[in-house]
């Protein structure tokens, strides 16, 4: 399965892995580079596969 953000992750160059049946990004660059970016800048983790959304409207 894929999350709503899958195409964005793909466009940004993510390497994917299976996580509980979902294709989730594992990393975009090297582990070392991502580690340093998280320590000195910011990191974001996509958890959209962990919940349900109900969208209602007209």
Question: Model pTM?
Answer: 0.69
Distances (CA, A) of 38 to 2, 6, 42, 43, 56: 25, 21, 5, 5, 36
> Rounded to the nearest 5°, which phi and psi values hold at 22?
-105, 145
> Rounded to the nearest 5°, which phi and psi values hold at 7?
-60, -40
Q: Does residue 27 fall inside a structural domain?
A: yes
Say how many domains are in the chain. Answer: 1
List of the chain residues with pLDDT < 70: none
Q: Does residue 19 fall inside a structural domain?
A: yes
Q: Does residue 38 fall inside a structural domain?
A: yes
The confidence score (pLDDT) of residue 16 equals: 97
The confidence score (pLDDT) of residue 27 equals: 92
Q: Does residue 53 fall inside a structural domain?
A: no
Gap between the Cα atoms of 38 and 40, Å rounded = 6
């Amino acid at each position: 399965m894929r999350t709503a953000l899958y195409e964005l992750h793909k466009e940004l160059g993510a390497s994917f892995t299976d996580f509980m049946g979902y294709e989730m990004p594992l990393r975009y660059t090297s582990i070392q580079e991502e580690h340093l970016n998280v320590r000195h800048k910011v990191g974001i983790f996509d958890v959209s596969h962990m919940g349900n959304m109900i969208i209602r409207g007209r």
